[in-house]
């Protein structure tokens, strides 16, 4: 095994850094660039140069614990390494090198003893709070050895809810050694043949809508997202048909869905309507069943795995040549991690086709240049109050009652009603935003107890920017306003039936406004004015 130039640069980077500074650093290494090998080479070097040192390698899933351990044993077969992971049935404590899951060791600092270096794989999961598993454990290790060095590894060195890992008053890490500095940016790795090219289809794909879905903890609320996506079975069926059509010459697929029920919905459509050999892997899937499904995908027994979150990290099947996103996410980190599952090189594939039915590319941008959101601020100007999910160790907002990653339910707080009225404004008004739409989508809008109306949704590219409602079945001012819109953009006599109105719009193609003014201050962006 001959290390690549950038892998050697990544191994050298901490040594160069610690000649000048004394903080904790993050090595930014793209998915598929060989983080496990970099870690193994560093461990071998430091233990051979300083045999008395000990190294601890932390991560959050047993698959990565095992993978990182096996990589070291491949590089250095006589490495003095052990594993501490309840999921793997091992609790080694005295070896010079320990690979551990944070859930198993976070209360075991004294038992494990003194370490010179702690590696944290997927370190974007480390919260800024000092009272969570990672931080409490690292603080305890620092008390044992005040000179402890922490080295993070991540393809996405920024937090779920915004901001680089070095930002914030309580940030664990002091500096980031970027992929650009190490010479391993995604375009360069693809150009050198170390990663597979990622391609997208030329034609637009059917898009799932997140209308009405709230956000919490840096992403969409799981229950609301699940309800919204599961209700759009017609779009899911169209998406599955496109996956089958575009993936006809591709043999290894992975599909990310919005919920467990959505996973089974997709499985049913693919298996029964299209005769695709597929399986669902979710958090509740037994370890043996999950391992069998992954092995079957790798060997070709299965063509497709369907998941909601569990295959976003710690999952390595190089043969994946089609990746479909049916799960909208507001987290650029999750977006990059999911797309990364298809980036590894294999003899059987030339590239990986990415099918985005969730608007993630439009929202976040290319995976090598994502729009990193700014971190939210609390009223006092510091970092937003956060907490750690005890099940999956992800950092979420303190107000979340349901973890957006694993669905863990937190106890409901008691309602405290103040004896004083709020002094905040009840109505806020922002200036409307102007857009130049490139497409309009027409559909029926139903509201209990009200007549149906024609819903017009305007898009700029793949992004929905605002909607308006044409009240063709209403009376009075609402109908008069609808007739004005119809005369301007469609022409002729407006029907009295919303279904007919939708039919006419789909076949007569109304004029697109030259620009629209959208009020984005409310829950939904509403078109206040459409200009011809």
DSSP 86: G
pLDDT at 206: 86
Give yes or no for residue 456 having a pLDDT over 50. yes
Q: Residue range 466-471: average pLDDT?
A: 87
pTM score, whole prediction: 0.66
φ/ψ of 388, rounded to 5, equals -110, 135
% the chain with pLDDT above 90: 42
pLDDT per position as a tens digit, 61-82: 888 899 999 999 999 999 999 9
- The rounded mean pLDDT for the chain is 85
| 47 within 8 A of 53, measured Cβ to Cβ | yes
Out of 6-20, 242-256, 271-285, 327-341, pick the least confident: 327-341
pLDDT at 466: 86
Burial level of 431, CB count in 10 A (0-12/13-18/19+)? exposed
pLDDT at 380: 46
Identify the band that residue 389 occupies on the pLDDT scale cut at 50, 70 and 90. Answer: low
pLDDT at 447: 78
Identify the band that residue 150 occupies on the pLDDT scale cut at 50, 70 and 90. Answer: very high
Between these two residues, 177 and 126, which has the higher pLDDT value? Answer: 177
Q: Residue range 46-57: average pLDDT?
A: 93
Identify the band that residue 137 occupies on the pLDDT scale cut at 50, 70 and 90. Answer: very high
* Strand 215-216, strand 219-220: pairing: antiparallel
Give yes or no for residue 179 having a pLDDT over 50. yes
Between these two residues, 53 and 314, which has the higher pLDDT value? Answer: 53
Highest mean pLDDT among 180-194, 198-212, 268-282: 268-282
pLDDT at 384: 46
Between these two residues, 506 and 494, which has the higher pLDDT value? Answer: 494
Give yes or no for residue 381 having a pLDDT over 60. no
Give yes or no for residue 425 having a pLDDT over 60. no
pLDDT per position as a tens digit, 347-380: 889 999 999 999 888 888 888 877 776 665 544 4
Identify the band that residue 313 occupies on the pLDDT scale cut at 50, 70 and 90. Answer: low
Give yes or no for residue 426 having a pLDDT over 70. no
% the chain with pLDDT above 70: 86
Give yes or no for residue 234 having a pLDDT over 90. yes
Burial level of 2, CB count in 10 A (0-12/13-18/19+)? exposed
What is the residue-wise DSSP string for 405-448? TT-PBPPPPPP---SS---S-S----PPEEE--SEEEEEEE--T
Identify the band that residue 479 occupies on the pLDDT scale cut at 50, 70 and 90. Answer: confident
Between these two residues, 520 and 479, which has the higher pLDDT value? Answer: 479
pLDDT at 77: 95
Q: Residue range 478-488: average pLDDT?
A: 87
DSSP 269: I
Give yes or no for residue 163 having a pLDDT over 80. no
Q: What is the rounded (10 degree) CA torsion for 30, 33, 39, 44?
A: -160
Give yes or no for residue 414 having a pLDDT over 90. no
Q: Which domains, from first to last, does the chain contain?
A: 5-189 (3.40.50.300), 196-364 (3.40.50.300), 433-531 (2.40.50)
pLDDT at 382: 45
pLDDT per position as a tens digit, 430-440: 567 888 889 88
pLDDT at 401: 64
pLDDT at 312: 62
Identify the band that residue 472 occupies on the pLDDT scale cut at 50, 70 and 90. Answer: confident
pLDDT at 149: 95
| 3 within 8 A of 39, measured Cβ to Cβ | no
């Amino acid at each position: 095994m001959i290390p690549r130039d950038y892998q050697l640069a990544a191994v050298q980077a901490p040594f160069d850094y610690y000649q000048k500074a004394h903080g904790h650093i993050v090595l930014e290494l793209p998915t598929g660039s060989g983080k496990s090998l970099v870690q193994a080479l560093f461990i071998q070097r430091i233990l051979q140069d300083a045999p008395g040192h000990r190294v601890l390698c932390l991560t959050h899933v047993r698959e990565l614990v095992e993978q990182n351990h096996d990589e070291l044993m491949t590089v250095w077969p006589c490495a003095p390494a052990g594993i501490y992971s309840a999921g793997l049935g091992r609790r080694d404590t005295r070896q010079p090198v320990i690979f551990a899951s944070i859930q198993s060791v976070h209360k075991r600092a004294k038992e494990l003893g003194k370490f010179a270096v702690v590696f944290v794989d997927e370190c974007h999961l480390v919260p800024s709070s000092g009272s969570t598993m990672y931080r409490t454990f690292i603080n305890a290790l620092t008390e044992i050895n005040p000179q402890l060095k922490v080295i993070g590894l991540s393809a996405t060195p920024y937090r779920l809810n915004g901001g680089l890992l070095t930002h914030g008053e309580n940030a664990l890490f002091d500096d980031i050694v970027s992929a650009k500095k190490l010479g391993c940016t995604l375009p360069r790795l693809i150009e050198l043949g170390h990663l597979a090219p990622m391609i997208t289809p030329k034609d637009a794909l059917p898009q799932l809508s997140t209308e009405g879905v709230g956000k919490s903890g840096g992403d969409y609320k799981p229950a609301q997202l699940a309800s919204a996506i599961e209700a759009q079975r017609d779009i899911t069926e169209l998406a599955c048909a496109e996956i089958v059509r575009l993936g006809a010459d591709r043999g290894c697929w992975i599909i990310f869905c919005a919920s467990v029920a959505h996973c089974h919905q997709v499985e049913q459509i693919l298996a029964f309507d299209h005769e695709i050999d597929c399986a669902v892997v979710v958090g509740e899937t037994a370890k043996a069943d999950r391992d069998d499904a992954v092995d079957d995908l790798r060997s070709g027994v299965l063509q497709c795995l369907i998941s909601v979150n569990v295959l976003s990290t710690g999952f390595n099947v190089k043969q994946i040549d089609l990746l479909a996103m049916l799960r909208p996410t507001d987290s650029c980190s999750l977006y990059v991690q999911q797309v990364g599952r298809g980036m590894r090189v294999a003899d059987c594939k030339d590239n990986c086709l990415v099918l985005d039915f969730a608007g993630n590319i439009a929202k976040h941008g290319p995976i090598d240049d994502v729009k990193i959101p700014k971190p939210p601020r609390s009223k006092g100007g510091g970092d937003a109050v956060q907490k750690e999910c005890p099940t999956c160790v992800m950092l979420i907002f303190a107000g979340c009652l349901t973890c957006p990653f694993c669905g863990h339910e937190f106890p409901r707080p008691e309602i405290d009603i103040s004896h004083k009225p709020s002094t905040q404004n009840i109505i806020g008004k922002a200036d409307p935003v102007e857009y130049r739409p490139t497409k309009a989508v027409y559909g029926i809008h139903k509201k209990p107890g009200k007549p149906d109306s024609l819903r017009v949704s305007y898009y700029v590219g793949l992004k929905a920017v605002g909607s308006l409602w044409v009240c063709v079945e209403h009376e009075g001012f609402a109908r008069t306003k609808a007739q004005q819109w119809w005369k301007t953009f469609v022409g002729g006599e407006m029907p009295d039936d919303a279904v007919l109105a939708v039919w006419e719009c789909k076949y007569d193609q109304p004029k697109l406004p030259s620009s629209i003014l959208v009020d984005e201050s409310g829950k939904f962006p509403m078109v206040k004015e459409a200009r011809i």
